[in-house]
Copies of this chain bind each other. A is one copy, B any other.
Amino acid sequence: MDVAILVFDGMTALGATGAYEVLSRLPGCNVVFTATDAGPHRDAQRALSLVADVALDEATAPDVVVVPGGPGEIQVRHDARVIDWLREAHETTTWTTSVDTGSLVLAEAGLLDGMTATSHWLALDELGRLGANPVAERVVVDGKIITAAGASAGIDMALLLASLVEGDLVAQQIQLSIEYEPEPPFDAGSPFRAPAVVVELARATSRFVRTV
């Protein structure tokens, strides 16, 4: 199984690396990081560069595509090289997936028209404007498209995908190998559970929330 993970400047690294850490452990799975140009691409937090080993035109016909998110997605949405690659890849993928605001890129490519999908919680309205039916869920499967919520949801998405591809036992082995028994010190990971002041602060600084 060939997995292509998109990287781009301004990505949120955890969305890609969380999914990668799971999918790369699937038996017989070949993962490649790919970008418009091969080489290092700096993440949104500006201190980490992930290397794309190959350019998009070398990552042809992957079985699985993973599109992460992050503030850089806005440039990616308007980059015809990425959109064209994504549309072409999607024609033959087994699974086309996204994490975080990567779903906005799928939507821009027209892959989510009328589909049920998710995204970072602050981007759900934007996802709707782009033609999808947005839902506030952790991981959403609609046909062969799987979308995940904000960056950390890439791990959950990839474990589900692992079970769909290789069965529950393999997915559980992978979960145990990365010791994924999360213990967040706070219950503040979703807008439905975080303290109101925390949610309001996030909304006030979001690039997605527009003046009413």
- A residues whose Cβ falls under 8 Å from a Cβ of B: 12-14, 17-18, 20-21, 24-25, 30-33, 40, 45, 47-51, 53, 100, 120-121, 138-139, 149-153, 155-156, 159-160, 163, 168-169, 171-173, 175-186, 188-191, 193-195, 197-199, 201-202
Indicate the member of A151, A186, A191 with the most B CB atoms within 10 Å.
A186
The reply to whether A172 and B150 form a contact with Cβ atoms under 8 Å apart is no
The reply to whether B45 and A178 form a contact with Cβ atoms under 8 Å apart is no
- The answer to whether A156 and B178 touch (CB under 8 A), given A198-B169, A202-B173, is no
CA distance A120 to B178 in the complex (A): 8
Count the copies: 2
CA distance A146 to B57 in the complex (A): 44
Could you write out 19 A-B pairs with CB less than 8 Å apart?
A14-B20, A17-B17, A20-B47, A21-B45, A21-B152, A32-B47, A33-B48, A40-B40, A100-B179, A152-B181, A156-B183, A160-B185, A169-B197, A169-B198, A172-B198, A173-B188, A173-B198, A175-B188, A179-B189
The reply to whether B159 and A184 form a contact with Cβ atoms under 8 Å apart is yes
The reply to whether B175 and A180 form a contact with Cβ atoms under 8 Å apart is no
A26 to chain B minimum Cβ distance, whole angstroms, is 11
Other than A100-B179, A176-B194, A181-B189, give 8 A-B pairs with Cβ distance below 8 A. A13-B20, A18-B18, A149-B181, A156-B182, A156-B184, A172-B188, A175-B184, A181-B184
The reply to whether B47 and A40 form a contact with Cβ atoms under 8 Å apart is no
The residues of B that contact A193 with a CB separation of less than 8 Å are: 181
The residues of B that contact A194 with a CB separation of less than 8 Å are: 172, 175-176
CA distance A85 to B172 in the complex (A): 37
- Which of B100, B156, B175, B202 is A176 in contact with, Cβ under 8 Å? B202
CA distance A30 to B45 in the complex (A): 10
A72 to chain B minimum Cβ distance, whole angstroms, is 15
- Which of B156, B179, B183, B190 is A151 in contact with, Cβ under 8 Å? B179
The reply to whether B189 and A182 form a contact with Cβ atoms under 8 Å apart is yes
